[in-house]
A and B are shown apart, each in its own frame.
Chain A
């Protein structure tokens, strides 16, 4: 918070309130997501992290202002959801999945050439070209996550929202996913907002961190926010947190673990 904000904002949130079924979920959130950076959104279960992403996507009603400076037109935002729950027996291939929302002709007729080429290029980008004809239901957690990332990038978005991307992903899948995120952010100058419980992932990827529990408790550079005092304030005392002295941010190569109970019912 103390550091002067040099980079322009990709998303500015002013006094955001969200109620779901008359239950207040977010109560006056103010935050600034910097352009071209990876910002991690951390907080305990029920803190409203997913709800904040949904509000940015315009999928839940809210009071307050969310500004996404984009010149003319609707800003393009990619979205990687948490735990894609679906019927795993459905015969839908990774290529079908990418083409479904993007092409005019019905998929039962054909894949349109342009969408197909773009989808295949995106699958290659996330090292998943070999999965194009494979059914979604038989993909591993890491493979599915990469396919979801490929679909999030289909419209060449400037902003990508990732909700718990490492949940249900094994260690090697997580490593590959993190290296992809770093590379894509660098190559495409993407703004990424990442919800994560995995502080190891947060410390290795994020330049900025927002600590949320219905309101923003702290916001700033990862090194400033990720300390025992702030985290205890955010998560409560001793939740299995392990922090070391290490370099922070996008090039950090450290092990830092936080193991809260798996969050399956987050707001």
Chain B
């Protein structure tokens, strides 16, 4: 890590002078493109509510960590994965609509978290940095976790993107073409739960879904093909991340929210561009 930080000293930006800003920039460069790339599928699969359920399960995840004396990062990731896989399993087994199933798990995870937090008053302190995100306190361990996730998502989307996108177009047709629909659905849910929970430290649980959805929605407005949607989304995600981080440094504002505000600006621009094209 020291070698990377040393290299960053040569960047012509004053804000990378401090170690915490170097870490913050690295975290944003890793998390923003991952969220945007996964967001392409979130938008196509209409899974924004699923992502919201995972992020809000962090209430319980963090509370469990503090209660049992484990680093809350691990418990929130683990609990997020459990909630994600449970939603997919119940949806497959029951005749309830997907938003109903997600709604039930969303409510359960938030309610359990609030019960635990309200019963142990001290927990509120710990929750704050997860609610709004706190990229300036990200440590080397978390950077390593984000880098591992970056690689995992890149590998997954290299080998499974085509089938996943086809499932997004029409599940029956994808099945007829030999796509392993069920396995891919679980794998995607698992990876999405990981991305959401790991990104909470940067963006905050309240806004992490926006980091998935807003760049991908802007990319979709700008794109005329699958390839251009993917790259436009990643581009908007990265630009929003870096601009938002720098702006929050100078404005002394919450980084996650500033990033999402920037992404929303890009979305508005894309909407206008899309309308002018028609």
What 1/0 flags go to B146-160 for Cβ under 8 Å of A? Answer: 000000000001110
Q: Could you say which of B13-21, B134-142, B163-171, B260-268 contacts chain A?
A: B163-171
Please state if A107 and B227 are interface contacts (CB–CB under 8 Å): yes
B182 CB-CB contact with A under 8 Å: no
Please state if A103 and B44 are interface contacts (CB–CB under 8 Å): no
Least distance between A153 CB and chain B CB atoms (Å): 13
Interface SS majority for chain A:
loop
B63 CB-CB contact with A under 8 Å: no
Please state if A87 and B44 are interface contacts (CB–CB under 8 Å): yes
Please state if A96 and B176 are interface contacts (CB–CB under 8 Å): no
A108 to B158 alpha-carbon distance, docked (Å): 9
* Closest A-B pairs by Cβ, 6 of them: A108-B230, A101-B177, A106-B161, A91-B223, A79-B176, A96-B226
**Closest partner residue, chain A, to B228 (CB atom):** A91
Please state if A107 and B161 are interface contacts (CB–CB under 8 Å): yes
A97 to B167 alpha-carbon distance, docked (Å): 11
A90 to B216 alpha-carbon distance, docked (Å): 11
Least distance between A241 CB and chain B CB atoms (Å): 30
Residues of B within 8 A of A (CB): 44, 46, 157-159, 161-163, 165-166, 168-170, 172-179, 220, 223-231
Least distance between B231 CB and chain A CB atoms (Å): 7
What 1/0 flags go to A84-115 for Cβ under 8 Å of B? Answer: 11110111110011011101011111100000
Please state if B170 and A101 are interface contacts (CB–CB under 8 Å): no
What 1/0 flags go to A34-77 for Cβ under 8 Å of B? Answer: 00000000000000000000000101000000000000000000
One of A96, A101, A109 near B225 (C-beta < 8 A): A96
A118 CB-CB contact with B under 8 Å: no
Least distance between B232 CB and chain A CB atoms (Å): 9
Least distance between A56 CB and chain B CB atoms (Å): 10
Please state if A86 and B170 are interface contacts (CB–CB under 8 Å): yes
10 further A-B pairs in the complex, CB-CB below 8 A; given A91-B223, A92-B225, A93-B225: A59-B176, A87-B169, A91-B229, A92-B169, A101-B166, A101-B178, A101-B179, A106-B159, A107-B162, A108-B226
A221 CB-CB contact with B under 8 Å: no
A135 CB-CB contact with B under 8 Å: yes
Point out the residues of chain B lying under 8 angstroms from A91, CB to CB.
Answer: 220, 223-226, 228-229
Point out the residues of chain A lying under 8 angstroms from B220, CB to CB.
Answer: 89-91
A141 CB-CB contact with B under 8 Å: no
A200 to B163 alpha-carbon distance, docked (Å): 37
A59/B165 contact (C-beta < 8 A), A89-B220, A91-B228, A91-B229 known: no
Least distance between A110 CB and chain B CB atoms (Å): 7
A91 to B157 alpha-carbon distance, docked (Å): 18
Least distance between B188 CB and chain A CB atoms (Å): 14
Point out the residues of chain A lying under 8 angstroms from B46, CB to CB.
Answer: 87
Most buried by B among A79, A81, A91, A97: A91
**Closest partner residue, chain A, to B165 (CB atom):** A100
A196 to B230 alpha-carbon distance, docked (Å): 38
A106/B179 contact (C-beta < 8 A), A81-B170, A96-B226, A135-B224 known: no
Point out the residues of chain B lying under 8 angstroms from A87, CB to CB.
Answer: 44, 46, 168-169
Least distance between B180 CB and chain A CB atoms (Å): 12
Point out the residues of chain B lying under 8 angstroms from A103, CB to CB.
Answer: 162
A101/B163 contact (C-beta < 8 A), A57-B176, A79-B176 known: yes
A133 to B166 alpha-carbon distance, docked (Å): 17
A84 to B227 alpha-carbon distance, docked (Å): 22
One of A79, A96, A106 near B157 (C-beta < 8 A): A106
Point out the residues of chain B lying under 8 angstroms from A136, CB to CB.
Answer: 169
A93 to B225 alpha-carbon distance, docked (Å): 6
A101/B230 contact (C-beta < 8 A), A91-B225, A92-B165 known: no
**Closest partner residue, chain B, to A152 (CB atom):** B176
Most buried by B among A59, A101, A135: A101
Please state if A110 and B44 are interface contacts (CB–CB under 8 Å): no
The 5 sampled A-B contact pairs (Cβ below 8 Å) are A81-B170, A100-B162, A101-B162, A101-B163, A106-B162
